[in-house]
């Protein structure tokens, strides 16, 4: 069996209209198939699904990374630096509240990266990051 180079991720949300405003409007993702219980989104070629679930999502806690408390669990995407900064601007223009503002971390190290954390309307934690050197994603 050969896998496609993409992932499928599903998260709980408590309001599909709010999910549509955030994922479609703020993040600019294209909407795919949907029912009254879920919506498929094109997350840069990956299938991302918001499922209606009482209580929605939410982080269970935090973990310290480079001196900052980051929400756990979280998911996100690796972007190139230009796409990262365009998305950061789009989020700022939408008055998004960040858990961790767009910032450069691990400065001068092989894993130097731009990162930002935020919550969707249901409380699901998102991280977007861009490595200064894309080849260093798994460098130790």
Question: Which DSSP state fits 29?
Answer: P
CA distances from 114 to 19, 128, 129 (A): 25, 8, 5
Are 48 and 67 within one domain? Answer: no
Number of structural domains (the chain) is 2
- For position 33, which CATH number holds? 3.30.720.120
Are 65 and 48 within one domain? Answer: no
The pLDDT assigned to 78 comes to 93
Tokens representing 86 are: 């365009």
Are 90 and 24 within one domain? Answer: no
Are 47 and 94 within one domain? Answer: no
Q: Let me know if residue 106 belongs to a domain.
A: yes
Cα angle vertex 119, ends 93, 65, to 5°?
Answer: 105
Cα end-to-end distance, the chain, whole Å? 30
Q: Let me know if residue 28 belongs to a domain.
A: yes
pLDDT in tens, 57-112: 777 789 988 888 888 889 889 999 999 999 999 999 999 999 999 999 999 998 99
pLDDT confidence bin for 125, thresholds 50/70/90: very high
Are 65 and 44 within one domain? Answer: no
Query: 34 is in which domain, residue-wise?
Result: 8-52
Q: Let me know if residue 103 belongs to a domain.
A: yes
């Amino acid at each position: 069996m050969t896998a496609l180079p993409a992932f499928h991720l599903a998260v709980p949300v408590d309001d599909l209209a709010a999910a549509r405003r955030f994922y479609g409007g703020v993040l600019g993702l294209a909407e795919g198939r949907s029912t009254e219980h879920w919506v498929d989104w094109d997350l840069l070629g990956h299938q991302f699904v918001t499922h209606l679930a009482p209580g929605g999502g939410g982080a269970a806690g935090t973990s310290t990374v480079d001196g900052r408390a980051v929400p756990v669990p979280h998911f996100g995407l690796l972007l190139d630096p230009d796409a990262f900064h365009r998305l950061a601007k789009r989020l700022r223009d939408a008055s998004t509240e960040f858990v961790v503002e767009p910032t450069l971390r691990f400065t001068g190290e092989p894993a130097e990266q731009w990162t930002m954390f935020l919550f969707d309307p249901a409380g699901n934690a998102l991280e977007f990051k861009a490595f200064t050197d894309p080849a260093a994603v798994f460098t130790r």
